[in-house]
Amino acid sequence: MRPRRLRSALVLGAAATATALALGPAAPATAGTHGPAPAARAATAGTHGPAPAARAATVHGLTPVTDLLARRLLLADKVAAAKYGTDTPIDDPVREAQILDDVRARASSLGLEPDAVAAVFRDQIEANKLVQRALYARWNAHPAERPTERPDLAKEVRPALDRITTGLLAALRDTERARTAPACGPRLATAAGWSAYTHRLDAPHLEGMGRALPSVCAAPR
């Protein structure tokens, strides 16, 4: 399947799963629509939803990976707020190359295939930029929604992204068997839908989730 079609299939599957979960009795009224503001999403993520036993049944397989992808996507809000209205561009090829070189080196130490891991992180970078562009467009069209504070990109945002990078590398290692299984695609879409629901992803972040997924399923080694 071509990458564009695969992304579409995955994001549609994730959206369908998130919508089905949002229609459940425990879902908040806003889930699956526009979602609350980023701070509210971060504060409430995981506080609603199914009973503990039901949650425990879902936290397996690829959910640890998709939860980290969702958390990384939500940090795109702070990245965008840090850059918006400044000379700092959304695209940062030097920083992106540094990230990919770093994860290649760390992948080797974890027994993972470096280029495959770099492909996953390249998708995360592109997904993050997709969300940033969507936020820029929203803020340009609706000035009242523009951020009122500018996070510190070097001291606040990048350290948080680095922590997620460490967690994601570990999750890729721990889920290698699931990611190389023939059923990885549909299971990944289901996990992404669950993570989209629990993290209250709105439309731009849900689109970003679709962009973040294609390289997660790996060919058998």
Mean pLDDT, rounded, for 111-140: 98
With vertex at residue 140, the alpha carbon angle to CA 31 and CA 94, rounded to the nearest 5 degrees, is 90
Beta strand segments in the chain, E: none
- pLDDT > 90: what percent of the chain? 71
State the chain's mean pLDDT as an integer: 82
User: Could you tell me which residues come within 8 angstroms of residue 146 by beta carbon, excluding any fewer than 6 positions away?
Assistant: 84, 85, 139
Higher pLDDT, 106 or 5: 106
pLDDT tens-digit series, residues 52-104? 434 433 445 899 999 999 999 999 999 999 999 999 999 999 999 999 999 99
Under DSSP, the state recorded for 113 is -
Mean pLDDT, rounded, for 153-180: 96
Q: How many Å from the N-terminal Cα to the C-terminal Cα in the chain? A: 20
Is 114 in contact with 218 (CB distance < 8 Å)? no
Look at residues 59, 83, 72, 27 and name the one whose alpha carbon lies nearest to residue 208.
Answer: 72
pLDDT of residue 220: 78
